[in-house]
Amino acid sequence: MGRAGVSAGSLDGVTVASDRGDRVRYRNLLAGAHFGIAPFRPGCPWSMSVVDCQGMGLPVIAPRTGWLAEHIDDDLLFDTDDQAV
């Protein structure tokens, strides 16, 4: 369940997938994605998954905080849980 009280399974058209530690699967998942969502963990200064998505040319949706706010397009940043959903 997400912070906004909505599980990804309850959002139409949203699939949460795992690479299960397989880098080839991970690359293929990114290649088939339309965008990335930055994982936000308090105290985490950056995210390799954001770098990976950007390297694949995917837009990334992220909270407006720290490093993310400096490296993500302003139109794709959110300030509240409601904006994120």
State the Cα–Cα distance between residues 71 and 74, nearest whole angstrom: 9
In this predicted structure, the answer to whether residue 1 has a pLDDT above a threshold of 50 is no
66: left (phi over 0), alpha (psi -120 to 50) or beta: left
Q: How many domains does the chain have?
A: 1
In this predicted structure, the answer to whether residue 82 has a pLDDT above a threshold of 70 is yes
Q: How confident is the model at residue 10 (pLDDT cuts 50, 70, 90)?
A: low
Q: Does 3 reside within a domain? A: no
Compute how many other C-beta atoms are within 10 angstroms of the C-beta atom of residue 36. Answer: 21
Q: Does 1 reside within a domain? A: no
- Could you give the count of Cα atoms lying within 13 Å of 34 in the half-sphere of its Cβ? 4
Q: Does 2 reside within a domain? A: no
In this predicted structure, the answer to whether residue 60 has a pLDDT above a threshold of 70 is yes
Q: How confident is the model at residue 5 (pLDDT cuts 50, 70, 90)?
A: very low
| Interaxial angle between packed helices 48-55 and 23-31, expressed in degrees from 0 to 180 and rounded to the nearest 10 | 60
